[in-house]
Every structure is written in C-alpha cells, then in structure tokens.
Chain A
Amino acid sequence: MNIQEFIENFAAQFDDTDVADFTAETKFKQLDEWSSLTALSVIAMVDDEYDVIIKGNDIINSETIQDLYDVVVKLHG
C-alpha cells in the first residue's frame, strides 16, 4: 500500500478531471467534478482495494488526498 497507488485509485473515480491534476496535496473537494456521488465511489473503491470502510466524517475531515490516505492506513492497521 503506497500513496502513489492510492492517488491512482482515487483519480479513477473521476471521469472528466485530468489524472495529472491529482497529487497527494490535491484538495479534492475543491475539484469541479467532486460531488456526493464521487464520495460514494471513493468509499466503494477503498472497500474494494483496501478492505476498510471509511465514514462520512473521514471524508468531511480530510482536506487533501494525503489526509484521506492517512485515514485508510490507520484503519488498515
């Protein structure tokens, strides 16, 4: 499990945003394409890829992709 792979998995949930726009420091909720539906795709992706369920508050309290990655690492144990 590494941040680069997480960023790629995260970016795959978006249809219109350029993959190059995603870095660990991307403030994902500020992306034009971000919506409540993208949030659900991210939750499903984290379940599929890392076998953990993140909460709504984990997304609400995360600003960057790195923040969310840190939550997943912690839950993954």
Chain B
Amino acid sequence: MSQLTINNVRIAGMSACVPSTVEDNRTLPIYKDENDALKVIASTGIERHHKVEPGTTASDLTVKAVERLLDDMGWGPEEVDCLAYVCTSRDYIAPQTACVLQDRLKLRSDCCVFDLPFGCSGWVYGMSIVSSLMSHGTFKRAILVAAETNTQNRNPRDTTVRPLFGDAATATALEFDPDRSCPMNFMYGVDGSGFDAVWAPYGGIRNPVTPEALEEKEVSPGVYRRGIDMIVNGMDVFGFAIKQPPRSLKELIATFNIDVDSVDLLFLHQANKFIDEKIRKAVKIPPEKTPYCLEEYGNVTSASIPLTMVTRCQEQLSQAKPKHCLACGFGVGLAWASMEFYAGDVKISDLVIY
C-alpha cells in the first residue's frame, strides 16, 4: 500500500476562475425534448456548466485565478518558490504550460515549475507532490494549479459528455509553516488496464494525427466524435467509480485511524451526483458535510475539489479553528487518490469570472 504523511505545510489560500458563458442542460440542442434533458439532470445532478470561447485556454483562466490569489494573499510573484500546473488540456504539445506561466505570472526565473498531466485525481496527487517538496523546508510558498477546459477536447456533438463537463481553473496557495500546520495523509491507487475508459486515442505518438483522425463519425446513434476527441466510456467509468473511491477512502480511514465522526467536510471529485452519493454513503459521512458544486459547474476534472472548496466553503474554511477534511479524486488513468487534511484560516478569494 503506497501511503504518505507530510508535515509542516498548510493551505494558506485558494482562488478559482470560470468563463462567463453558461451552457444550460435544459436548452442543449442535443436532446429531443426538455424531458430528455430533465432525466439526465435528475440522474447526474448537473444542471449547467461554464464554457470557454474557442481560443481561450486553461492557462488563460489560470492567470486570472493566480493573479487574484496573489493579490488577496499579499504575496508578490517573486515570493513564489514553486508552481505546479495540473492539467490535461495543455496549451502546446511542447513546452510544458508551467514554463509559459512562469513568464506570464512574472515568477522568478529560479522558481521550480512543472506540469502534472493528471485528470480527476489531480488535485489530490498535486497536493501530495507539492507539499512533499515543500516539507523539506526551503520552499516557503507554492501554488498548485488545477485547471481544465473540458469543452475544448470533447466533441460538442457527443451527447454522452456535453451535458456533464465544464471548464474552470483553480489555484491553491501552500506555505511552509511548522507552527500552524497539521499532518496531511495520502493513499494512492491506479489501474492502468482501464486506460481506455477515459481517453483521447489520437494525437499522441502511438496514434498520431492523421486526416482520418480528424474526420467526424457517428459512433452510435446521435453520438459524433473525431479520433482526437476525448472518449468517456460511461459504463466502465461508472463501475470503477462506485468501487475504487469508497475502497480508497476506507483504506485511508483504517490506515490513519481516522474517527469518521470527527470529519467536518468530505470533498469528492464532482463526477456526478449518483456516483458521489454512493461514495458518501459507503463511508458514512452525512450529506450536510459533503458539499457539491457540480449542479452549477459540471465535472471540471482536477479543478472540481478546489472549486467546491472555493464556491461552497469560503466561510467555513476561513475560520481560525481548522476543519478536519477528507478528499478523494478519481478518474482518467484510471487513477485515484484520497487524503486527510486540516484547513483553517484559509484566505479564499471570491470567484473570478473570465
């Protein structure tokens, strides 16, 4: 069992940015009638999502989110020692987007920056990686970005994904603080045999872009895709998501002797309400301790947990007494990770609209 405990690092601030355009599932042109749309809303809990205009990237949203975060924290860009960019919808095939962001955000040229191309598990993985680097004590301030433009790498005529996924960028400010931090605990999981449960088959080196990969085909009635579009095999993802995340959280709880009654907040990757409620019930956390933002923003991949914290828990997490939190991210990979942490006196910025 891969597990990790990290000391001396705390979440100091958070921010998020979403594009201004809202797409409402009730009025999507992909449904026969509103009744069809209402069925999807009833079973997924997702009513609408925010969507970038073509040409706007996850890094554009990120710049807005990070600038607001630095402003509100009173951190100068030159004080940031590390920036990690969790995202799969990168600006270019090369270089890493984090390099471009170093210049755009005016970070120091000796700042440690890197991409982490994780999907839905990315914020939890990113928290463990960045916090672990910081725990050595020389990086004092770091920013973990979790951002995605799901609407740009999926086909708008793919009825299986369009109602579910949205765009957002989030930034989490971490600081080295031995006096005010509590230990963070992590558990990891991966099942690479499910690599094709959520994937984009063409555009990498194994299946390069060819003229055929750019042809749009009707793959099943009413579902259109190109080879370069992201595919979500709903049934396999669903089967995975109702099995591994509850198991992972239960392992976390058992390994670190967590008293479930003392947990204040459970943050789940915002996959869909049906899946998330099954996970919540499996670990016996009451609904009032499990905030959701998927009804408003859809599934925003790695950004979904921090977006929930920013848009639903601004007041709770700003209180001086730290809240005892669990989080679980799960999806593309297939990869998943769970964590236990405490969050208090977190400076959470108001949501930024791009």
Question: Which residue of B has the minimal Cβ distance to A58?
Answer: B235
Question: Does the CB pair B160–A56 fall under 8 Å?
Answer: no
Q: Annotate B216-257 by CB proximity to A: 1 below 8 A, 0 otherwise.
A: 000000000000000001111011101100000000000000
Binding site for A on B (CB under 8 A): 39-40, 43, 160, 233-236, 238-240, 242-243, 274, 278
Question: Does the CB pair A43–B235 fall under 8 Å?
Answer: yes
Question: Which residue of B has the minimal Cβ distance to A35?
Answer: B39
- Given the known interface contacts A37-B39, A44-B278, the answer about A56 and B242 at a Cβ–Cβ threshold of 8 Å is no
- How extensive is the interface on chain A, given as a class? 10 to 19
- Chain B binder among A2-10, A18-26, A47-55, A63-71: A47-55
Distance A5 CA – B39 CA, assembled complex (angstroms): 27
A-B residue pairs in contact (CB < 8 Å), sample of 17: A36-B160, A36-B234, A37-B40, A40-B43, A40-B235, A40-B238, A40-B274, A43-B238, A44-B278, A47-B239, A47-B242, A53-B240, A55-B236, A55-B239, A56-B234, A56-B236, A56-B239
Distance A27 CA – B196 CA, assembled complex (angstroms): 28
9 closest A-B pairs by beta carbon, nearest first, are A56-B235, A53-B239, A56-B236, A40-B238, A37-B43, A53-B243, A43-B239, A56-B233, A39-B235
Distance A76 CA – B172 CA, assembled complex (angstroms): 44
Binding site for B on A (CB under 8 A): 35-37, 39-40, 43-44, 47, 53-56, 59
In the complex, besides A40-B274, A43-B235, 7 extra interface pairs with C-beta distance below 8 angstroms are A36-B234, A37-B39, A43-B238, A43-B239, A44-B274, A56-B233, A56-B234
